């Protein structure tokens, strides 16, 4: 069963990619191959703002789509801005990014019982879109990583992060 249709691309019972409007540059090369593995890739809006209604709408959409994917035992990947995850782009963006991180860890624990995974890909401002697409494909097709944050870009190089 496919996830419900939303903005983005859906491939029937295969991978669904939820893209915000406007689409971040790093998300423009995400897999468009209909043979891509099943699951949900949720690309968080890069500029939610600080209004509670926008934050709530973004997290509610993520929850609904994630619930559908988890019920089907398919992988889930949240793609967030690394600076938002570190609280560097405003409170609303940080709430969405850290909320998705918490959701990923919770879904990972639940999904692990059935072999499904949930991870976060934190994309830095200097990340190559091709690298983002490669990591999305890897994280969606492997069960070796679950409940983790994979950071791309040089913004965190040599830093101890929470």
CA distance 93 to 50: 7
* Among the four given CATH numbers 3.40.50.1100, 3.90.1150.10, 3.40.50.720, 3.40.50.620, the one describing domain 8-152: 3.40.50.720
- pTM comes to 0.86
Q: What is the DSSP string of 5-29?
A: P-SEEE-TTSEEEE--SSPPGGGTT
Domain boundaries, the chain: 8-152
Q: Has residue 132 got a pLDDT over 50?
A: yes
pLDDT tens-digit map of 88-111: 999 999 999 999 999 999 999 988
- Token pair, residue 153, equals 């870009």
pLDDT for the residue 6: 33
Q: Has residue 60 got a pLDDT over 90?
A: yes
Q: Has residue 4 got a pLDDT over 60?
A: no
Rg (CA), the chain: 14
């Amino acid at each position: 069963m496919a996830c419900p249709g939303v903005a983005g691309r859906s491939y029937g019972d295969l991978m669904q990619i939820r893209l915000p409007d406007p689409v971040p540059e790093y998300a423009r090369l995400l897999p468009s191959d209909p043979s891509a593995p099943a699951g949900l890739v949720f690309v968080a809006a890069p500029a939610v703002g600080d209004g509670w209604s926008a934050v709530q709408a973004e997290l509610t959409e993520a929850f609904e789509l994630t619930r559908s994917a988890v019920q089907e035992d398919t992988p889930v990947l949240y793609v967030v801005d690394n600076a938002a995850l570190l609280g560097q782009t405003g409170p609303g963006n940080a709430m969405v990014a850290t909320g998705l991180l918490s959701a990923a860890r919770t879904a990972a624990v639940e999904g692990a019982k059935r072999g499904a995974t949930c991870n976060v890909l934190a994309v830095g401002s200097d990340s190559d879109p091709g690298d983002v697409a490669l990591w999305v494909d890897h994280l969606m097709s492997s069960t070796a990583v679950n409940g983790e944050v994979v950071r791309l870009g040089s913004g965190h190089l040599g830093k101890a992060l929470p």
